[in-house]
Amino acid sequence: MKLHAAAILVIFWLGAFTVKTAKGSAGSQPMRKVSCVRLSTQQLNIRNLVSYEKQQVPVDAIMFITTKGIKICVSPNQKWVRTAVKKIDQERTKRQIIPS
């Protein structure tokens, strides 16, 4: 009887270990980067934009990041978007030049 109980405990332990290992390996995979699939058609206030990322797949887009951390995707072909990108680049350059 004791041998039977020990065998059941070993099988249970192996099952629990397998589930925990599978969960750990799935959780250790890197998360996918956020990407644009739909583009906003509204013009944004350039003063509220702090950063941007360029994207070409799945759609050609610029992802602006606002002062509140909101990410908004827009078409890079619009004039105001090119102006905003240029302004953000200039601000980055200014911050790099100023000694800390």
Going from N- to C-terminal start, the domains of the chain cover 46-97
**Hey, which of 8-17, 24-33, 55-64 has the most confident mean pLDDT?**
55-64
What are φ and ψ of residue 72, in 5° steps?
-130, 125
Strand order in the sheet with 71-74: 49-55, 61-66, 71-74
pLDDT of residue 14: 54
Distance between CA atoms of residues 97 and 100, nearest Å: 9
Whether residue 24 is predicted with pLDDT greater than 90 in this model: the reply is: no
Q: Which pTM does this prediction carry?
A: 0.62
pLDDT of residue 96: 79
Question: Which CATH code is given to the segment(s) 46-97?
Answer: 2.40.50.40
